């Protein structure tokens, strides 16, 4: 059993209460974590507030902040394998993926380290004589970053890095499900030399930890990635402190496969978009619309490829699909698949827990062929390796079905017709459109959705502006005194 500690005000501390997490590969306890109490949650916020307004952090210039952020990136890159293995043991994600993602997370810190001293205001061409007016961008304040279990290091980086670059301080709430990697990350924060309180890392349950973090009067911004129901609670809680709230929520992303696509590329896109990360991705392309003329061909090719997919131990480099993170996910996926079959969907392959894996929370890669979208598997975000396939006849029909969802995070279009690619992508209601590729990300590219997938953007230059507030300064340059306020000119 491994034991982890909170990181508050530059110190590691045992929590008043502890809880265990289970290894998804075998369902057994492997690590113990502190569950933040009301007192500890308050302490994390108070330390961040003190560091921002009273500590040395506020006295560092932007270039100095950037150097610290860059150093943190170096330490992440150095420890990427260790971070990845911890995340795999705690979440069940493939080690080959978590190691690579951990290494790439360093690039997010490098990117924002470079932007730290490039946040600037502007001089306004004001319509008043003898007035110089300019704007500056200041830190927004204490930022609470709440991240889910499925990619904690990455999703934390998209919040921590721009927040720090803009001069804020941060309290990170790691998910109570699989928080190990972020607690190891806390050790790297400590080693990198940030002043105490600049970055605080805790975990805990909605009550009291989540409530305190989202209602505290000294919190200026809440950056949340997770589910829509939790988001609604956060929005309601933020009425207590009027904190700015950014939301990156779930998805039920469409993939449109046209008859003129590169067949091999489309098949690879379907597999990557649904079986990558064992389907546990908010951008999983789980609604696949295929032109009727190639519908059977694509299904046959995906089915053939699925036969060779290796399901197994996520630490084994040969494994291609690992376990799901929780037993509840397996039960939920099984129930939705069975309900969909009862409703009239055809099970092409998969649909159950693999017989060779008695222990752990595994679920077979699954494909359901559906006559239309009125099926549980098409409407429900599963966080499991389950594909729902629907045939279409016209471009207009495909676009209409793709947009017929409460979500709007990611989408994919596979076609060799450049005009069609532009035409269709402009009509899809989603924050991200991948054309002839899928699940590509970059610190340079904004990430976020439409509709119930949230309206905020993470990554890219725009994200850093969301962690600042604009101040406008007016200077009267006239040598004459200010005019009599009771004489209008």
Q: Cβ of 281: how many Cβ atoms within 10 Å?
A: 22
* CA 272 – CA 423 distance, rounded (Å): 24
| DSSP three-state, residue 171 | strand
Give CB contacts under 8 A, 24+ apart, made by 478-482: 478/129, 478/130, 480/130
- 155's CB contacts (< 8 A; 6+ apart) are 147, 148, 225, 248
* Pairing assessment for the beta strands 2-3 and 346-349 based on DSSP bridges: unpaired
Enclosing H/E stretch for 69: helix 62-78
Q: Which of 248, 364, 381, 466 is catalytic?
A: 248
- Token duo for residue 488: 């209008």
Cα 465 to chain centroid distance, Å, stands at: 18
* Pairing assessment for the beta strands 346-349 and 244-248 based on DSSP bridges: unpaired
| In contact, 55 and 180? CB cutoff 8 Å | no
Q: Please report where in the chains the tokens 């860059």 appear, as a residue.
A: 70
46-64 core/surface letters (b: 16 or more CB in 10 A; e: else) = bbbbbbbeebebeebeeee
* CA 44 – CA 197 distance, rounded (Å): 8
- Number of residues written out for the chain: 489
- Catalytic site includes residue 304: no
CA distance between the termini of the chain: 77
According to DSSP, the residues that pair with 408 across neighbouring strands are: 450
Phi, psi dihedrals of residue 352, rounded to the nearest 5°: -155, 175
DSSP state, 153?
Answer: H
| In contact, 178 and 4? CB cutoff 8 Å | no
Residue positions annotated with a catalytic role: 248
């Amino acid at each position: 059993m491994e034991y982890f500690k909170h990181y508050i005000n530059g110190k590691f501390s045992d929590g008043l209460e502890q809880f265990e997490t289970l290894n998804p590969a075998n369902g057994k306890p492997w690590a113990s974590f502190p569950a933040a109490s009301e007192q500890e949650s308050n302490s994390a916020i108070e330390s961040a507030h003190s560091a921002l307004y009273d500590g040395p952090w506020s006295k560092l210039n932007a270039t100095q902040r950037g150097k610290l952020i860059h150093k943190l990136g170096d330490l992440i890159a150095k420890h990427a394998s260790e971070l990845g293995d911890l995340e795999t043991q705690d979440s069940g994600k493939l080690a080959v993926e978590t190691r690579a993602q951990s290494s790439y997370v360093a690039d997010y810190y490098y990117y924002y380290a470079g932007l730290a001293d490039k946040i600037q205001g502007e001089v306004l061409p004001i319509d008043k004589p003898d007035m110089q007016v300019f704007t500056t961008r200041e830190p927004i304040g204490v930022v609470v970053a709440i991240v889910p279990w499925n990619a904690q290091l990455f999703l934390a980086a998209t919040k921590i890095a721009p927040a720090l670059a803009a001069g804020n301080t941060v309290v990170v709430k790691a998910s109570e499900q699989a928080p190990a990697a972020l607690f190891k990350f806390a050790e790297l924060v400590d080693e990198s030399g940030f002043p105490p309180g600049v970055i605080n890392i805790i975990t805990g349950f909605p009550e009291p930890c989540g409530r305190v973090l989202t209602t505290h009067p000294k919190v200026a911004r809440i950056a949340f990635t997770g589910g829509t129901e939790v988001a609604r609670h956060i929005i309601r809680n933020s009425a207590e402190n009027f904190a700015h709230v950014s939301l990156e929520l779930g998805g039920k992303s469409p993939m449109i496969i046209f008859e003129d696509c590169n067949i091999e590329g489309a098949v690879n896109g379907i597999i990557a978009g649904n079986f990558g990360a064992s389907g546990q991705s908010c951008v999983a392309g789980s609604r696949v619309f295929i032109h009727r003329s190639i519908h059977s061909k694509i299904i046959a090719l995906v089915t053939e490829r699925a036969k060779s997919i290796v399901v197994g131990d996520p630490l084994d480099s040969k494994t291609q699909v690992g376990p799901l993170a929780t037993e509840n996910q397996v039960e939920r996926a099984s129930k939705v698949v069975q309900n969909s079959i009862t409703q009239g969907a055809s099970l092409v392959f998969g649909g159950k827990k693999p017989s060779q894996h008695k222990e752990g929370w595994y679920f077979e890669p699954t494909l359901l062929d559906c006559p239309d979208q009125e099926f549980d598997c098409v409407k429900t975000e599963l966080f499991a390796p389950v594909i729902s396939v629907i045939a279409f006849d016209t471009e207009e029909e495909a676009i209409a079905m793709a947009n017929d969802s409460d979500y709007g995070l990611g989408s994919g279009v596979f076609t060799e017709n450049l005009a069609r690619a532009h035409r269709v992508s402009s009509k899809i209601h989603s924050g991200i459109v991948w054309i002839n590729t899928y699940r590509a990300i970059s610190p340079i590219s904004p990430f976020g959705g439409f509709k119930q997938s949230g309206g905020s953007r993470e990554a890219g230059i725009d994200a850093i502006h969301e962690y600042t507030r604009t101040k406008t300064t007016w200077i009267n340059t006239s040598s004459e005194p200010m005019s009599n306020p009771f004489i209008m000119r």
